[in-house]
A and B are shown apart, each in its own frame.
Chain A
């Protein structure tokens, strides 16, 4: 049995169990912490840094989705400083690749866009990198546009951990990182893809989308995913 402990979130005492993450405890207690890379039912990777929180006695900000709770911990989820840093995290994502919403299939149905609006990001202070990356249209039903990818690895995790196919992974490192299919093959040649569409539905941006949608039309059908992942235990 995991031990019962108690932590404080924004001043309130919350019951928790050893082994849970700050995010799990906060969500269970009805507290909102913004997230982007986190996906229910799959492992946490701490890639986007939107879920950062302050933990008293710790000098740096910690990602709530990967930090395990400790007895007596005191967590702050909202502050001026946190908002500042969360905005910076979003701005970095915007400056890295091409996120021109007006011409994106996921315009108005995009978690990145929604998060930026929620956090009040109105401009990007950093120069845009905008590398010209490829678009994989080989799959008969889906497309992958690397230019919209934020490398959250949701597609990698859902395909590996829920579908069990492990079609995607991340190649290279640093600024050269790219989502890759099998041995860097076009998607249509992926021997392991079952065409289940899970990766498309969980992708927070317009990077993975269904074919046949015009700009603005791609609504994600992620309720099926939520049901599936909940059945798997819904752990994060």
Chain B
């Protein structure tokens, strides 16, 4: 899929705005990702940014796969992020994850060694992710639904939040 002119000019403007600043690359990539309706970096845009900033392709790929912040796949309309840190784990975040996976019909994927898990439903309505700790351990288990933090979650309350999202969509 080729880049639209609009995407190109947004990338150009962002690159110019960041020119010469230390750590510019991260800022550029973050803006460009945020600009995309599906909040991700396509290989086309990465190649475009690499060419414009003179960063070797492999180095750019290294950066975007190092930071959990960057998505290389299109994200869903809603993002549900389950904390898999120690505190939340001991308070049952694994079953929250399993439950949600079943509810959204997402495949079982081993968490082994993965520092982040990110799956999107085929209809691109929901993305399910994990993080290593929100820094809100007193509220464990913690789940973030579209940037709002919910503490002391259980399967029922989580189910209700997700249902709420679905209803919101319908109206």
By a beta-carbon cutoff of 8 Å, the part of chain A in contact with chain B is 156, 160, 166-176, 180-184, 191-192
Whether A173 lies near B61 (C-beta < 8 A) is: no
Verify if B4 is at the interface (C-beta below 8 Å from A). Answer: no
Whether A168 lies near B114 (C-beta < 8 A) is: no
Q: Which of A160, A175, A180, A191 contacts B61 (CB 8 A)?
A: A180
By a beta-carbon cutoff of 8 Å, the part of chain B in contact with chain A is 43, 46-47, 56-62, 65-66, 113-115
Whether B65 lies near A172 (C-beta < 8 A) is: yes
Known: A169-B58, A183-B46. 18 other contacts (CB 8 A): A156-B58, A166-B59, A167-B56, A168-B58, A171-B61, A172-B66, A173-B65, A173-B115, A176-B113, A176-B114, A176-B115, A180-B58, A180-B65, A181-B58, A182-B58, A183-B43, A183-B58, A191-B57
Residues of A close to B46: CB separation below 8 A: 183
Report the Cα distance A45→B43, complex, angstroms.
29
Closest to A178 in B: B65
B119 shortest CB reach to chain A, Å: 16
5 pairs, A vs B, C-beta closer than 8 Å:
A168-B58, A172-B65, A173-B65, A180-B61, A180-B65
Residues of B close to A181: CB separation below 8 A: 58
Given known A175-B113, A183-B47, contact A192–B57 (CB-CB < 8 A): yes
Closest to A166 in B: B56
Closest to B57 in A: A182
Residues of A close to B56: CB separation below 8 A: 160, 166-167, 169, 192
Residues of B close to A182: CB separation below 8 A: 57-58, 61
Report the Cα distance A183→B66, complex, angstroms.
14
Given known A183-B43, A183-B46, contact A174–B115 (CB-CB < 8 A): yes
Report the Cα distance A168→B61, complex, angstroms.
10
Q: Which of B58, B62, B66, B115 contacts A167 (CB 8 A)?
A: B58
B26 shortest CB reach to chain A, Å: 15
Report the Cα distance A175→B114, complex, angstroms.
8
Q: Which of A171, A174, A191 contacts B62 (CB 8 A)?
A: A171
Residues of A close to B59: CB separation below 8 A: 166, 169
Whether A174 lies near B61 (C-beta < 8 A) is: no
Report the Cα distance A142→B55, complex, angstroms.
25
Report the Cα distance A168→B66, complex, angstroms.
15
